[in-house]
Amino acid sequence: MELGQEGHRYYDLQRWDKVVSELNRILAFEKTMPWGDLIYSGAVVGPEDVNYPIPQRQIDISKGNLYQNR
């Protein structure tokens, strides 16, 4: 069962592999609003936006076993 309004939506979309399509759909709708083009004119969600970057300190500690995921 999903937990509505509890801030888990992004992680659900990530688990279902729908982050890019769903967020771009929402952006397309927002761009149709009177303020949308002003705020979201060049906004696009791509595959590089799905995961958070790995902290540089962790990459340094790993001695080459980890690399940045962007």
Averaged pLDDT of the chain? 86
CB atoms within 10 A of CB 48: 10
Query: CB of 44 within 8 A of CB of 58?
Result: no
Minimum mean pLDDT range among 10-19, 20-29, 61-70: 61-70
27 lies in which domain range?
Answer: 9-61
Structural domain count, the chain = 1
Identify whether 54 is part of a domain: yes
Q: How far is CA 28 from CA 37, 46, 69, in A?
A: 10, 14, 27
Mean pLDDT of 57-61: 93
Is it the case that residue 48 has pLDDT exceeding 60?
yes
Identify whether 66 is part of a domain: no
Is it the case that residue 40 has pLDDT exceeding 80?
yes
pTM more than 0.85: no
Identify whether 40 is part of a domain: yes
